[in-house]
Amino acid sequence: RLLFQQYVELHKELDISDEKFLELARSQHYNHPHRYKRVISCGKHGCEGVEINIKSTQLGPGYEGAANDLKRNRELYNKLFFTFFDVARTTAHATAILAELKDYLVTQKETQRNQALVLFFQLFPMVLQGLPPPHSPLMSIVVGIVKDIGTAYIQNIPHIGVQKKVLDMILAYSAPSLHAPQAAQQPTGPVIQEMPEPPQILPPHPKPQEKELNLLPQPEMSLLDMSDDYTAGPRESDQQKHLASISAPKTSMTEDDEAPLTLKIKYFSESRKDLFSLFTPSVFLSQGDSRNYLMLLSTLTGATSNDLDEPEQRFLASCFDISQHMEKIISMPELGPHFMLDILKIVIKNNAFSQLSNTIMNRLSQIPEMADQVMASVMSSSEQSQGTRSTENWQELLGSWTDNVDADKAALLLARMAAELPMKDDQYKSALAMASNMILQSPLTVKIVEENSAIYAHPPALTTSPTWEAIENFCKGSLKFINDYGDQITALSFFGLLNMLVSLVETCPPLVDRFWYLYMEILNPYIATHTERLDQTELVKVLSKIPWDKATFHYNDTSTLITLSNHISVNSAVTKLVFTKLDWRQFALCFAEDDVEQMENGLYFLKIFMDINLLEPRAIPSDIRQLVFGIVNKPNWYEEGHFLVDWRLAPDNEFASVFNGESLMRLVKTGAVMNDPTNKLLENMSLLRDVARWIGTSGSILAAMNEIRSAMYLCVGSIDQATQKYWYLSNADHVKVMSHMILPLTSRFVDLAQRQQQQGESLVNDGIVVLVSCVLSLPGQHGDIFGEPYLAPIRFHTTTTVPPFFKDPNTVQDQQQRKNIMQLNAQLMDLNDRMYGLVAMFLTSGSVNTCMHLFSNAHKATSLAIRPRVLVSLFEEALHAFFNQSQDPSPLSTVQNAVVIGELDWSSVINACIEVRAALTLRVLLEKEKQKLEGLDPASWTNNAHRFLDYVVRFLPTEHREFDIFSLWFFAVELLTDDRWEGGKSHKKVDMFLTCLKIYYGGASVFERSKYPIQPPAKISQVMNLAARACYIYLEKVFLNKGSFHETGDSLHKHMEALMAFHHNPQFQRFEPFFVEMESLLSPLFNLPEFETALVKTLTPIAPYLLAFVPRQGDGRDAVTAFTGLKT
């Protein structure tokens, strides 16, 4: 052993000497740098040239004494070389002696066995550590000795002490490669962590005296050539015992020098694994010794990966092979299958024992009562593996095990795995590999197909499938929250589970219906809560493999389309995928027999269709698009027969439940739309309008109105405030929606609702509220048209960066910004004017029934809660239409009972009438308030009447309908001629009203005009002149008759003469009928109704609606018309 150690150290010193030689040789010469300047002359006269810097190098001799150092180095090398070969020759003699001893030991009697084992265990660690130089004659001889002794006294010998010691040494003395310095070679694979040095087997000895040579390592050199043409035998002559004749090389070599002699000896490959075959633990099984077998097995599996590299681990694991003993073990009562299960529990965690694990698992899988225990062992060992077995190895192991499992056993194992869930992620991957193999490759697949040949027993009830239930339970357990680890399975495991299910459905397309329910009930909740973790593109890619065209759930189960419709707000990409691949033609056949119950499904189809049309219209098949949109703007679409669903069959209440005012805009509000939604939104509105129209019920039309109204005045602002992006319908789009959708639907459903009695009345009321809510401010005012921006992600391109709100341009200094603000304000005012004009036009031409519903319900529109002026303006338009059309004998009484202002303040509404110049509305409201005075004493009644007169005096009519003020003058005249009036004309309110009349006919003095509470009109028309004079004369006649007179009888006649004087004025000739009627003005028989009727018919024949304000028999106002005549 001392020779071996000296041999190794001399070899290292020779390498160091060679390295030093190379270093000295390189340092014999060096480069001398030189720097200087040089001027480059110029050819021009007077130019001195250019000065440049030049650098050059010159080869020169090295440091002084370099040649002597080289000489001493070579001299030392020669001495070391002679010493090395002398030791090598001595070592060769020693190994020859060992070889003879080995032959002697292995060929003698058993008494020599102990001596041989002593020699074996002395040499075996040397071989494991590679102490003799690898690939050298010395190592070859030592390995041969070890192998021969091991073959004779260790291999296949059931001696636990010897076998255990061999295994311990293999684990204790690692291969040299595990301890090689990292600088020697950069590994290309995983870095092996450096192991501690194994125990020293050589006795300590003094190191050679260190010489102060300052030597560096030299590149490794091959000193010996080896050949296989000579084999040394221990019994040959002494000359043959000397294995080689070795001579040292000369100090210098020339081409003619003789080559050195070589050592002729048989070469051995020195592989550690070749010696591992001496370890034979399986020999214990042949003797029935399970205890020692398991002990050795536990020792090896307990070793760390740093003790052995993977190939060595696998080689040693193969030594435990039990394939030859398996049947014997199973038949032995003391061992049996449970012993094999014990082995499995030990080895299943280690990759190196995969072959042994497969062998045991495949054999045990054939024993029914063992399957459950094997699964438990697999699950338990997987959890405890702590990464020693990779996911790929688990899949390989478990996949191969289930190759021969029948359907019943597979179902049992699947149920066992489901019961073990949830589990760790790494463990779950193993279970998933097994489940995938059983479901997709075992006879279990055939059983699933057989159980699901018919999915629906009696739709929507599903048939029973125990195997599918086991799969569902496995999926449920897979996605449970793992409390112990605070997380659920990773995305990789989820897609592994999903791919398994998809592959199963691909194999058996009828399972697509069951997959749908499993996806929505089990997978979708997990996806919805892990959207950021899961790759949505990959999810859609995997689900696209499902044969959705084979599905029947969308027409067998009416609840599925409801689920699909709700799912679009959760995962629009998946909903889009499923919708575009389902067979909708087969779906449409369900409506062929007028199945009204199925129409709910049809309405949800329409809802999803419009959603997909908004998200990605190109995804809708062209034939389906043509059939759905085939009804748009086609009054007789059903006669052509080209439609998907006969919408006339849809129930009224179902339509309202599906389209509840949140359907059209929900995807825009959630930020799911990727393109500008304007065009497709309008397209969807048109489709919804026509579907509701052809369903033909007031409920469906009202629902469509609410749905379409939800898009108006809606501003969506980017939730990311840094982007400053907004979306809303333009002015033109709002006008289109109002004129082409809201108003036509309103007109239609009002007519329909009249036929439905009480229920129809209620629907019309709601419809009127929808209509009125479209008017948010009066013409010429900006109003607050749009509500606050609805914040949502805006994923599409839009150039709108300013919200649609009125802003005072004087608050900004920048001219361009001020210009933009003014432009936006103008647009808002224009939109407001257009919308009001459309509604006003509709009301003007509306039916009596429409107007009556407006009077009763307009106040319910939430948008008008703080805008009484808008309410009054709409009332004014509706009153004109009502009084023009009504055939009611007492229209004023009917209207004043119908008008409701709700929670609005009465005074604010009255003031709004004066502000917007709504004469008819003011008259109706005053008449309604006057009714409350019934039963009051004359004094109280008169005090309230004074308040009413004040409103009349403050009213200024519009230029285009100035004669509407007649209704208020009539009201004032009726108050003053009422028997309950006290005080005659002495009150200032009466005097002010008379001044009002004087102003309109031009008879007021400057003083009177200065006291008038409002600015009188600048220009008085002929109609207003004549009407004011006539009213003044009539009131003076009444006062004169009551004795509270201001004018004398003569004065009254002068006023009458002044009025009749206009009769001869050519400019007043067109009022001939008026003058004819007024000839009886002072007659006691010319009562108030006749007077008011004469004014309306002769002065304003174009406004017959004013006749509604003339007192009529039975309306409660005829009592005030009595007149006793003039006093003389």
| Phi, psi (deg, nearest 5) at residue 727 | -140, 135
- Measured CA to CA, the distance from residue 193 to residue 457 in angstroms comes to 63
Closest by alpha carbon to 990, among 1017, 1023, 952? 952
Angle at 806 between CA 781 and CA 874, to 5 degrees: 30
- Measured CA to CA, the distance from residue 185 to residue 780 in angstroms comes to 88
| Peptide bond between residue 1017 and the one before it cis (omega within 30 degrees of 0) | no
Look at 124-138, 443-457, 622-636, 873-887 and tell me which has the smallest mean pLDDT.
Answer: 124-138
Angle at 436 between CA 430 and CA 438, to 5 degrees: 105
DSSP 1010-1025: HH-SSPPPSS--HHHH
Q: What is the pLDDT of residues 699-736, one digit of tens each?
A: 888 899 999 999 999 999 988 877 789 999 999 999 99
Most confident region among 517-526, 765-774, 785-794 by mean pLDDT: 517-526
User: With left for phi above 0 and alpha for psi between -120 and 50, is residue 387 left, alpha or beta?
Assistant: left
Closest by alpha carbon to 92, among 318, 263, 299? 263
Residue 1021 exposed, middle or buried by CB count within 10 Å (0-12, 13-18, 19+): middle
H or E element at residue 630: none
The confidence band for 200, taking pLDDT boundaries of 50, 70 and 90, is very low
DSSP 324-392: TTHHHHHH-TTSHHHHHHHHHHHHTT-GGGHHHHHHHHHHHTTSHHHHHHHHHHHHHHHHH-TTSS-HH
- Measured CA to CA, the distance from residue 1020 to residue 1026 in angstroms comes to 10
Look at 52-61, 386-395, 424-433, 798-807 and tell me which has the smallest mean pLDDT.
Answer: 386-395
Q: What is the pLDDT of residues 478-537, one digit of tens each?
A: 776 433 444 545 666 788 889 999 999 998 898 999 999 999 998 998 888 888 778 889
The confidence band for 66, taking pLDDT boundaries of 50, 70 and 90, is low
Q: Which residues pair with 54 in a beta bridge?
A: 36
Residue whose entry in the numeric block shows the structure tokens 């042949």: 286
Distances (CA, A) of 975 to 948, 978, 979, 1044: 9, 5, 9, 15
- Whether 798 has a pLDDT exceeding 80, the answer reads yes
- Whether 623 has a pLDDT exceeding 50, the answer reads yes
- Whether 106 has a pLDDT exceeding 80, the answer reads no
| Phi, psi (deg, nearest 5) at residue 726 | -140, 155
Non-local (6+) Cβ contacts of 80 within 8 A are: 10, 13, 14, 17
Better-predicted residue by pLDDT, 323 or 660: 660
- Measured CA to CA, the distance from residue 853 to residue 209 in angstroms comes to 121
- Measured CA to CA, the distance from residue 291 to residue 403 in angstroms comes to 31
- Measured CA to CA, the distance from residue 593 to residue 869 in angstroms comes to 53
- pLDDT of the residue at 156: 83
Positive or negative, the CA dihedral 538, 541, 542, 548 is positive
- Whether 892 has a pLDDT exceeding 60, the answer reads yes
Most confident region among 143-147, 625-629, 740-744, 1112-1116 by mean pLDDT: 740-744
Q: What is the pLDDT of residues 545-584, one digit of tens each?
A: 999 999 999 888 888 888 998 888 888 899 999 999 999 9
Non-local (6+) Cβ contacts of 307 within 8 A are: 171, 174, 195
One-letter identity of residue 669: K
Q: Show the tokens assigned to 733.
A: 């789009």
- Whether 360 has a pLDDT exceeding 50, the answer reads yes
Question: What is the chain's alpha carbon radius of gyration, rounded to the nearest angstrom?
Answer: 55
Positive or negative, the CA dihedral 354, 356, 362, 364 is negative
One-letter identity of residue 262: T
**Residue 539, number of CB atoms within 10 A of its CB:** 21
- Whether 49 has a pLDDT exceeding 90, the answer reads no
- Whether 203 has a pLDDT exceeding 50, the answer reads no
- Measured CA to CA, the distance from residue 395 to residue 397 in angstroms comes to 5
- Measured CA to CA, the distance from residue 1119 to residue 977 in angstroms comes to 10
- Measured CA to CA, the distance from residue 1087 to residue 1111 in angstroms comes to 11
Distances (CA, A) of 187 to 176, 181, 266, 310, 595: 14, 11, 32, 15, 75
- Whether 985 has a pLDDT exceeding 50, the answer reads yes
Q: Which residues pair with 727 in a beta bridge?
A: 716
Contact 871/901 with Cβ under 8 angstroms? yes
| Peptide bond between residue 234 and the one before it cis (omega within 30 degrees of 0) | no
- Measured CA to CA, the distance from residue 1110 to residue 1122 in angstroms comes to 15
Positive or negative, the CA dihedral 1076, 1082, 1083, 1089 is positive
Q: Show the tokens assigned to 756.
A: 């439905």
